[in-house]
A and B are shown apart, each in its own frame.
Chain A
């Protein structure tokens, strides 16, 4: 089955990390010391302020959790981190460039460097799982075949080999999350933002997704996971040095001490 025309995908070269797939190797230099800088950021919608006075700097290769009660603004915060929303006050600087200064094409370029996994991961239902995973390559103009070895390795890494030809509605919650994660990392992004990635899966699948995210972090990716699953955070802290942030009363706080 073909996703596009002929030709090979231009993936990064294979690395010696046995558990990794070549597609995930770090191949981009991050401009500046921070991948994301938020400076006195605020965001208002419909006359009400959802986020206020938020300042944060994410260094390359760091691991973060974002917690807070439902409706606190975690998803809004993540959207501000990949340019889906523009702050109403303050600055959001992504890869050294202020979001306000970017046009829509530049925002699109930024999104190729940020892998996003949503809780309600959306797919194109008329495409197969493999095609959906390869979608970022397709939209960036690369020809990619489902027979491509690198794509196969990525699908295998997520444990979806047997579901590669299925349509997204046929997948279980956990399979959808893993497919979304594979799609998020296929461009070898610098940052992975995951919004409640374990919200719809059982503990075993949560562990597996967490392992994949930790593995990506060890490859040099910056990871931020929005979750209210404290068990997941505790499990992660045994494997990776993670900073825990909390959004409460519209503001961002460091919340590691109570975990």
Chain B
């Protein structure tokens, strides 16, 4: 059975379009299903893109930085810090290294202990921030040198907690993509159900059309085109509602963490505009298959 070509779909067939009754609950069901699914798809897409962005950020930024902790008796801290900086200055792959100031260390502890922490009176280790160059350093070699020259130094290359974070972000991104696929599948199933209902409810229309010599592809085209456009406009509505909801989310703040960074950034805003086209394509394929099946059954 020859079905609808994209050109005919866009140009329209007034003859075929007229023969299908224009209204009915299936029209509303298709519009609602497409709108609701696309609304959800916008969030799944935003989740997927945001987690992808986070994974990328964590992966890149944390991979280029590490921390050296000097835990030594108070009278040796300054000397060991100086020695460690000397070692780092002569280590290949280290772009720069600097000891954090008391204020910076206090700021790091503030979320846990509050702003009035008496840092000076506590035996807090000295932290040194290490920024790698493009090649990066050899952590095992650096550890050996530090063990020999700075006994109180402990190197943390962030790998221990960066890897699970990046892995978690990657899984959330995969979850977002899986959600998109599931949403597309559910939308296809709902539109198929609506198309089946429409075809069954229009059994008399199909019988009359067959009686007067309509080919199955003519009948199928009339339904497929109708459902494709309904899905497109429903999805467009759902997309705009989804985008409005995304815009209404709070802006990402430094202290806001992961959830407030869910929105879209930059060129990622283009992606939701493809969703109505995808919905139309899903509807086109689902309705075409449903129409072929139903017409074969009614033959």
A4 touching B213 by the CB < 8 A rule? no
Ranked 5 nearest A-B pairs via Cβ:
A112-B213, A139-B214, A111-B213, A136-B212, A138-B15
Task: A2-B14, A108-B216 are known; give 7 further A-B pairs, CB within 8 A.
Answer: A122-B207, A124-B21, A135-B19, A135-B208, A135-B209, A139-B215, A141-B15
B215 touching A104 by the CB < 8 A rule? yes
- Residue B210 lies at the interface, judged by CB distance under 8 Å to chain A: yes
B215 touching A183 by the CB < 8 A rule? no
Taken together as a complex, chains A and B put the C-alpha atoms of A118 and B209 apart, in Å, by 14
Chain A residues near B22 (CB, 8 Å)? 126
- Residue A187 lies at the interface, judged by CB distance under 8 Å to chain B: yes
Q: A4-B14, A126-B22 are in contact. Are A105 and B216 (CB under 8 A)?
A: yes
- Residue A123 lies at the interface, judged by CB distance under 8 Å to chain B: yes
- Residue B299 lies at the interface, judged by CB distance under 8 Å to chain A: yes
- Residue B160 lies at the interface, judged by CB distance under 8 Å to chain A: no
- Residue B232 lies at the interface, judged by CB distance under 8 Å to chain A: no
Q: A124-B205, A126-B21, A139-B218 are in contact. Are A183 and B15 (CB under 8 A)?
A: no
B209-256 with Cβ < 8 A to chain A? 209-218
**Chain A, interface size: which category?**
20 to 34
Nearest B-chain residue to A110, judged by Cβ: B213
Nearest B-chain residue to A112, judged by Cβ: B213
Nearest A-chain residue to B222, judged by Cβ: A139
Partner of B212, one of A109, A110, A135, A143: A135
Interface of B is mostly: helix
Chain A residues near B212 (CB, 8 Å)? 111-112, 135-136, 139, 183
A123 touching B214 by the CB < 8 A rule? no
Chain A residues near B297 (CB, 8 Å)? none
Nearest A-chain residue to B19, judged by Cβ: A124
- Residue A255 lies at the interface, judged by CB distance under 8 Å to chain B: no
B191-211 with Cβ < 8 A to chain A? 204-205, 207-211
Taken together as a complex, chains A and B put the C-alpha atoms of A3 and B13 apart, in Å, by 12
B interface residues (Cβ-Cβ under 8 A, vs A): 1, 14-15, 18-19, 21-22, 204-205, 207-218, 299
Q: Beta-carbon contacts of A82-122 to B below 8 Å, as 1s and 0s?
A: 00100000000000000000001100111110001010001
A1-17 with Cβ < 8 A to chain B? 2-5
Nearest B-chain residue to A125, judged by Cβ: B21
Chain A residues near B14 (CB, 8 Å)? 2, 4-5, 143
A104 touching B216 by the CB < 8 A rule? yes
Q: Beta-carbon contacts of A133-151 to B below 8 Å, as 1s and 0s?
A: 0011011110100000000
- Residue A127 lies at the interface, judged by CB distance under 8 Å to chain B: yes
Nearest B-chain residue to A184, judged by Cβ: B212
B19 touching A143 by the CB < 8 A rule? no
Q: A104-B299, A122-B204, A123-B208 are in contact. Are A136 and B18 (CB under 8 A)?
A: no
Chain A residues near B1 (CB, 8 Å)? 104
Partner of B210, one of A3, A4, A108, A127: A108
A122 touching B208 by the CB < 8 A rule? yes
A140 touching B213 by the CB < 8 A rule? yes
Partner of A139, one of B21, B204, B209, B299: B209
A143 touching B211 by the CB < 8 A rule? no
- Residue A131 lies at the interface, judged by CB distance under 8 Å to chain B: yes
B216 touching A138 by the CB < 8 A rule? no
Q: A4-B15, A124-B19 are in contact. Are A136 and B213 (CB under 8 A)?
A: yes
A108 touching B18 by the CB < 8 A rule? no
B15 touching A143 by the CB < 8 A rule? yes
Q: A124-B208, A139-B218 are in contact. Are A109 and B18 (CB under 8 A)?
A: no
Chain B residues near A2 (CB, 8 Å)? 14
Nearest B-chain residue to A113, judged by Cβ: B213
Taken together as a complex, chains A and B put the C-alpha atoms of A22 and B22 apart, in Å, by 33
In whole Å, how far is A180's beta carbon from the nearest beta carbon of chain B? 10
A3 touching B18 by the CB < 8 A rule? yes
In whole Å, how far is A123's beta carbon from the nearest beta carbon of chain B? 7
In whole Å, how far is A109's beta carbon from the nearest beta carbon of chain B? 7
Chain B residues near A127 (CB, 8 Å)? 18-19
Taken together as a complex, chains A and B put the C-alpha atoms of A111 and B216 apart, in Å, by 13
Taken together as a complex, chains A and B put the C-alpha atoms of A3 and B213 apart, in Å, by 17
A139 touching B213 by the CB < 8 A rule? yes
